[in-house]
Chain A
Amino acid sequence: AQKVTQAQTEISVVEKEDVTLDCVYETRDTTYYLFWYKQPPSGELVFLIRRNSFDEQNEISGRYSWNFQKSTSSFNFTITASQVVDSAVYFCALSEINQAGTALIFGKGTTLSVSS
């Protein structure tokens, strides 16, 4: 069965520190897609990134970077020089695609608190 594990329940850092959020996934599919979403205190879920299983190139977007390693089934997310506005719950998700349709399987989330 598909599964996403975010072992870090809560992380607290001080502004300007770098922080890495871990995500480990399990799937038997050879083609799959991974996602990160952010849920700020206001509650909405904000899409951050999608990664295809056949593309292991790491990605950087401003202060955000993602490290996808198929060999360890991990898709980790690093925030460089964290800011208070980065405080949120971050979810890693795996797409489950079958003949019927598509569903996202979410991890339990990591709560990031950035203090000034």
Chain B
Amino acid sequence: DSGVTQTPKHLITATGQRVTLRCSPRSGDLSVYWYQQSLDQGLQFLIQYYNGEERAKGNILERFSAQQFPDLHSELNLSSLELGDSALYFCASSVGERGPYEQYFGPGTRLTVT
């Protein structure tokens, strides 16, 4: 158990809908990262937050947004969902903001868009 929690574990929704994925980092970790894992794209970095502020940004679609709250939990919002958004979404956390910090991953949320 990495100490990172994600809810829900599974999510099934229809195209055009909006969903929110939730993540709680390990105790003491200030950085939260979101990654998307799909069969065709592999594991791709989406976005990083550190202590409530957006930091690094990857290939995150404009339909996707995230935030980190004062209690350090984070939410990833996916809107106008398309079939291609079906994937496993991971949250990870680390102690620091920039540097050689290991990222510890949560169990993931499997999103299925029908």
A joins B in a complex: yes
- Give the interface size bracket for B toward A: 20 to 34
- Give the interface size bracket for A toward B: 20 to 34
Q: Which residues of A contact B (CB under 8 A)?
A: 33, 35, 37, 43-47, 50, 52, 91, 95-109
Q: Which residues of B contact A (CB under 8 A)?
A: 2, 31, 33, 35, 42-45, 48, 50, 55-58, 88, 90, 92, 94, 96-108, 110
Interface SS of chain B: helix, strand, loop or mixed? Answer: strand
Residues of A within 8 A of B58 (CB): 103
Cβ of A103 and Cβ of B56 under 8 Å apart? yes
Cβ of B48 and Cβ of A103 under 8 Å apart? yes
Question: Which single member of B56, B104, B105, B106 contacts A102 (CB below 8 Å)?
Answer: B56
The distance from the CB of B67 to the nearest CB of chain A, in whole angstroms, is 15
Question: Which single member of A52, A102, A104 contacts B98 (CB below 8 Å)?
Answer: A102
**In the bound complex, CA of A107 to CA of B98 (Å):** 21
Known interface pairs A103-B48, A106-B43; A44-B105 also in contact (CB < 8 Å) = yes
